[in-house]
Chain A
Amino acid sequence: MKSRYHFLLPEVEAALASPNFFTAVKKHATRYSYSESLMEVAEINPKVVVLDVDVGKSLKTNEFAKKYPHRSFNFGIAEQNMMASAAGMATTGLIPFASGYAMFLSMRALDQVRNSVHYPHLNVKIAASHSGITPGPDGVTHQAQEDLSIIRTIAGSCVIAPADHVTTKMAVHAMTEYDGPVYLSLTRDPVPFLYTPDYPFEIGRMVTLREGNDLTIIANRDLVAHALVAAAQLSGQGIEVRVLDCHTIKPLDEEAVLKAARETGCIVTAENNVIFGGLGSAVAELLVENDPIPMQRIGVRDTFAESGPYYEVIDKYGLTYPHIIQAAQKVLDRKYAFKNQMAKGEV
């Protein structure tokens, strides 16, 4: 039988139904995938320079600094200056990658991100590690559970949250070519290697990872793996789930969402980000104006999280695959209740 899955590593596909998926598979923090990719794009494009704010050890941008001392600028613990300086550098034709922690790049330096980078639409790349609750142990002050929502609201922004090592590398290459500001969301904690090198990465295009027509799960960054595990388990109950990797939250691939709405009749979104203003909101905004089908959102509810091992924290705050399975069952109930009402002529 032909596999329903696309672009997954064979060992990942084989392990999806395993109860130990997250301990069985190999993992890598995408903050490191980012700094490894910088070496590649710097080789290709002489305009690439790397800025950081005393996070060289944490993101391993210090490796870049060793290899390219003249293309590396450490601003110390001063995100605001780095961000507006990056804007100034971009006006001279350089492609600055402003690297740091999501909390401080998206919030402390938000005024600079909006007024100096996005308003003039300058070619600044913002690389934000510790995005969402991907630093588990560091606690709330370092868990940027709002960053994707915040940057998404800025006019002309482009927000990318890749799920694994391979797509992070592809994203860094794509954003180097892209003309304009890009916010790249990276994980502090390791996430599974998922994809084969033939993954068709394109900014603004969702990728179908699993085919199915009973419901669609749209996920990004570290919850893509959870969406895949949830889909594998639901398949055991005879429910075939379509899984979409929405690595670009903005611009949203509207065509893929509307197609999923039409063909599967209900949607679950899954993001390690607050439920306000992020992926779930983006999908809901589109659906409510076009095709308001039943939908459930997985995301951080109206609360801060806490310190703890990454997996345990996101599990406690409702983001792991068992929560996605519950949301899927709920949305399916709503879908069939809606269909029954339709059949009886009640709606």
Chain B
Amino acid sequence: MNDLDVSKTLSVSELKRVAVQMRKDILYMIYEAQAGHPGGSLSAADILAALYFRVMRIDPANPQWEDRDRFILSKGHACPVWYAALANRGYYDRAHLSTLRKLNSILQGHADMKKTPGVDMTVGSLGQGICAGVGMALGARFQKKDFHVWVVIGDGEMQEGSVWEAAMSAAKWKLDNMTVILDLNRIQNDDFVENTMPLGQVQEKWQAFGWNAIRINGHNMQAVVDALEEAATIKGFPTIIIADTVKGKGVSFMENVPAWHGSAPNAEQYEQAIREVTGAAA
């Protein structure tokens, strides 16, 4: 990604190239680790590409900058997508990517804010990152800071009751400095969400909790960018972007297959996966 000038607003086609590189890196990390969660990392790649390479106000040279936008991957098991975004954005050397889940690595199995530059909140226990996002948004408002808090949650994660506690509180305090993006990939660890514990009318539920809800195709880069940029301008309500996504997006044998929630490809599968996500760039 060295040829991209991130000081300028990247175009949609440039963001698509970023997402391809991130997908390659996700697969590489999980292949090297022989463990991890490819499905939910691949489904969120376009969203994180848009956030880290266009939408968020950040400075990779100064990851603790007080006025930076905050990002929390509340579905923390998908952290390879976060690590790929941060590495490509220059928070740390790409050489770290081969160390995912290994001893002494800065890239833990679930993201650790004290180990990884750019990680704004330690995550992994589902349903907590969104609550931390509420706290960050309250902290921003209390200290009269204008940074925005971005939180990606999973649809399986919505089964955690604390997600709804956070939803109530963000509406109570009208946290328009916080945006949640729901990576609605329809699959959780065991099975399809619909079979494990159906979520019902997702958009209506968030609206009933007092949120502004925008629904998009989470793999249409233009739609992703438009929704993120719109969300940041909406006042008086917290906004959720419900992004319909495909679990394992870009790899034919992983797409929509629950088994690829949390398993690593073998050498042959890895080569095919890399070919497929690279080809998708053309």
Contact = CB atoms under 8 A, between A and B. Distances in A.
A317 interface: no
A92 B122 contact: no
Given A84-B131, A91-B70, A116-B131, 15 more contacts: A70-B142, A75-B169, A80-B127, A86-B135, A87-B135, A89-B135, A89-B138, A91-B135, A92-B135, A92-B136, A92-B143, A115-B128, A116-B125, A116-B128, A120-B122
13 contacts: A78-B162, A80-B165, A81-B134, A84-B162, A87-B121, A87-B128, A88-B131, A89-B142, A91-B113, A94-B139, A116-B121, A116-B131, A120-B112
A83 to B, nearest CB: 8
Interface string A85-107: 11111111110100000000000
Interface in B100-150: 112-114, 120-122, 124-125, 127-129, 131-140, 142-143, 145
A278 B121 CA distance: 30
Nearest to A70: B142
Contacts of B122: 115-116, 119-120
A83 B168 CA distance: 15
Of the listed residues B131, B133, B136, B142, the one surrounded by the most CB atoms of chain A closer than 10 A to its CB is B131
A85 B168 CA distance: 13
A81 B166 contact: yes
B66 interface: yes
A93 B67 CA distance: 12
Interface of A: 49, 70-71, 73, 75-76, 78, 80-81, 83-94, 96, 111-112, 115-116, 119-121
**For the complex, would chain B's binding face be called helix, strand, loop or mixed by DSSP majority?**
helix
B127 A49 contact: no
B63 interface: no
Contacts of B112: 119-120
Contact of A85 (B114, B127, B134): B134
Contacts of A111: 125, 128
Nearest to A96: B135
B198 interface: no
B236 interface: no
Interface residues of B, number: 34
Contacts of A115: 122, 124-125, 128
B170 to A, nearest CB: 10
Given A116-B122, A119-B122, A85 B66 contact: no
A96 B142 CA distance: 12
Contacts of A96: 135
A109 to B, nearest CB: 9
A155 to B, nearest CB: 12
B193 to A, nearest CB: 22
B253 to A, nearest CB: 33
B121 A88 contact: yes
Contact of B162 (A81, A119, A121): A81
Contacts of B135: 84-92, 96
B234 to A, nearest CB: 21
A94 B143 contact: yes
A101 B280 CA distance: 54
A120 B134 contact: no
Nearest to A86: B135
Contacts of B169: 75-76, 78, 81, 85
Given A70-B142, A111-B128, A112-B128, A91 B136 contact: yes
Contacts of A86: 135
